[in-house]
Amino acid sequence: MIKGKSVAITRPAHQAEELVEIVMKLGGQPRVASTVEIVPTSDIEKVRKQFKLIADGKSDIIVFMSQNGVTSFLSLSEKLGLENRVLKALAKMQVVAIGVKTKMNLEERGIRVDVTPADHSSNGLVATLSKIPIRGKVLVVPRTDKPTDYLEKGLAGTGVKIVQFPIYETRIPRDKTEIYALINDILSGRIDIITFTSSSTALNLLKVAEELHQAEAVRKALNQKVVVASIGPVTKHTLEEKGVNVLVTPNEYTVEAMMIELERYPLTILKHESLDEVDLNILGLVQKEIPLVKKPWAEIGLRLGISSEEVLKRLKDLTEKGVIRRIGPVIDARKVGLKASTLVGMRVSPDRIDEVVSIINEYEEISHNYERKHEYNVWFTLTAPTQKKLNMIVRDVTRKTKVSEDDVLNLKTERLFKIRGDIKLK
C-alpha cells in the first residue's frame, strides 16, 4: 500500500508530473528529487552526417527508444535545417517504437509507427526485430550519449548494420540541492519508497552520494529502510550491480505498471532480533530469485562476500528458526511460451467424478485438477501457447467427458496479477 508513504521520484523534472499525480491518487506523499537532467547533444555537427544519411534515404529502419529520443531527434532535425527531408524519409522507412508512449508521441507528430514490441524491453525489442526482414539493411538508433550494446549483441549474425548516434545527453543536474536533501532523507529513514525510471537516475544518485563520501551508507539504507522500485530489468540490473536490492519491477515497463506493483506490494517490516545484516541480505536475494547457474549458492555468496557453505548454513539456520518456511520455484508460464490460460469449472454427477477426472488428467496442459463442494464440483486450470489451442482443449475435454456445455464454466484470464510478494527487510 502506498497510502501515507513517502515516495521519492528521481526522474527528470519535466517528466515527474505524471508520477506525482499517480502517487497522490494512491494517497502517497510524492517527493520529487530529479537525479538526472536531459539536454540536447552539445555537438550537433557531430550528428549532421547521420541526419543527412537519413534525409538522403540511406537508412532503412529507425528505432526510437524513448519519448526523449523522439523530442530530441525532431528538434535536432529542425536545427540542422533537415526537418522536411527527414520527415519524408521516415515515411519510407520502417519506424519502430520501444513502447506505447513513445509510439503515441510519434503519431501525435504525424509519424507512422510500423512496429511496437509487445514486451517493451530490450529483450522484447531484439525478439521483435529478429522476426522482421533486416538482413542487409541499415538500422539507425537515435538515443542517449551513453548507449548500451545489447542491440549489437542481440542482433549479431542477422546481417543488419546498426548505427547508434547521440541526440541527447543525460547528466547530473547542475544544482544538486534536491539530491543532497534526498540523500539526507534516505539516511534519516524519511523515505519509504524510491522509484528509478532509468539506469541514469540510479547511477547519478549513487555518484552524488559517493562525492559526499556516503555511498555505502546510502546503499545500506536503501537495502534496509526503503522499498526500491525499478521501471524495468535494465535499471534493476544496474542497481543490483551497485549492490542495491530491487524489490519491485513490473512485468510491463511503464510508470503506471510500476506504481500498480507498488500498490500491491506488502510494505511489511520483517523484524527478528537474531538476524544480522548478512541474514537480511541473503533473504533479500533468495526471495527475489535464485541464480540459474551450476552453483547458485556460490553465486549468492560471491555477491555477499561469503562462501557457499556459509550461505547454506545460514539458510538452514533461518529455516530452523521459522524465518524461511519453504524454498521452491514459481514458473512464469508466459516466459515459457504459454500465453493463454483459463480456470474451468464443471458440474459433474457424483458417480462420474472419478471417470471425468481420469479423462482430464490425460492432458499435459492441465496443471491442477480438484474437487470442490460446490454446484460446479470439478475444477481444473489450463494453460496453452495460444487462445485457439486453449479453446480446442476445452472443447475436446467437454466432448470426451460427455459433460454438457451448459455445465461448463470457462473463466479465461482477463487480467494477470503477480502471485508473489516480497517482504521488506529491516
Q: Which three cell numbers stand for residue 215?
A: 555511498
Residue 268: the pLDDT is 45
Residue 6: the pLDDT is 93
Residue 271: the pLDDT is 43
Which residue is associated with the grid cell 530489468?
233
Helix axes 83-92, 67-79, angle to 10 degrees: 130
CATH topology of domain 337-412: Alpha-Beta Plaits (3.30.70)
Domain spans of the chain, in order of start: 1-29+176-265, 39-171, 268-329, 337-412
Residue 419: the pLDDT is 52
Residue closest to 269 by CA, chosen among 192, 194, 217: 192
Q: Which three cell numbers stand for residue 165?
A: 548516434
**pLDDT tens by residue, the chain, 426 residues:** 688 899 999 998 878 888 999 999 988 999 999 999 888 787 788 889 999 999 999 999 999 988 888 988 999 999 999 999 999 999 999 999 988 888 999 999 999 999 988 776 777 788 888 888 899 999 999 988 777 777 888 888 889 999 989 888 888 999 999 999 999 999 998 999 999 998 999 999 999 999 999 999 999 999 988 999 999 888 999 999 999 999 898 877 788 889 988 887 765 444 444 577 888 888 888 887 788 889 999 999 998 899 999 999 999 888 877 677 778 777 667 777 778 899 999 999 999 999 999 999 999 889 888 888 788 999 999 999 998 999 999 999 999 999 999 999 998 887 665 555 555 555
138 with 251: CB under 8 angstroms?
A: no
Helix axes 387-401, 353-360, angle to 10 degrees: 150
Query: Is 337-412 in the same CATH topology as 268-329?
Result: no
Question: What sign results for the dihedral spanned by CA atoms 313, 318, 324, 326?
Answer: positive
CATH topology of domain 39-171: Rossmann fold (3.40.50)
Cα angle for residues 368, 374, 379 (degrees, 5° grid): 20
Coil, strand or helix at 409: strand
Task: Report the CATH architecture of 1-29+176-265.
Answer: 3-Layer(aba) Sandwich (3.40)
Residue 416: the pLDDT is 64
Residue 270: the pLDDT is 43
Q: Which three cell numbers stand for residue 94?
A: 520502417
Torsion of CA 302, 308, 312, 313, to 10 degrees: -100
Residue 127: the pLDDT is 85
Task: Report the CATH architecture of 268-329.
Answer: Orthogonal Bundle (1.10)
Question: pTM of the entire structure?
Answer: 0.57
